[in-house]
Amino acid sequence: VSTVTEFGCIPVSTLFSTDRNGWVAVSFFNNIIGLADPQDLTPPPFCSSAQLEEEAREAPTLFL
């Protein structure tokens, strides 16, 4: 499910489901159409040596 502005169809929020993480909600803010500098999308050099950290898997917590 995605929400966009009426004028320009700029994304405001998105809600989606994944098998691994369940429901994920993403909110967008300070959006503009286009990029002043497309290099902003290039990951910095230190990202090439980044490694994922494994998380400890715990049983889900019920809030009710």
Q: Give the Cα separation of 63 and 23 in Å (integer).
A: 16
Average pLDDT over residues 9-36: 85
Q: Give the Cα separation of 34 and 52 in Å (integer).
A: 31
Phi, psi at residue 27, to the nearest 5°?
-115, 140
Judge contact between 11 and 28, C-beta under 8 A. yes
Q: Is pLDDT of 11 > 80?
A: yes
- The pLDDT tens digits of the residues spanning 38-52 come to 777 777 788 788 777
User: In the chain, helix, strand, coil percent, each to 5?
Assistant: 15, 25, 60
Q: Give the Cα separation of 24 and 16 in Å (integer).
A: 5
Total-model pTM: 0.43
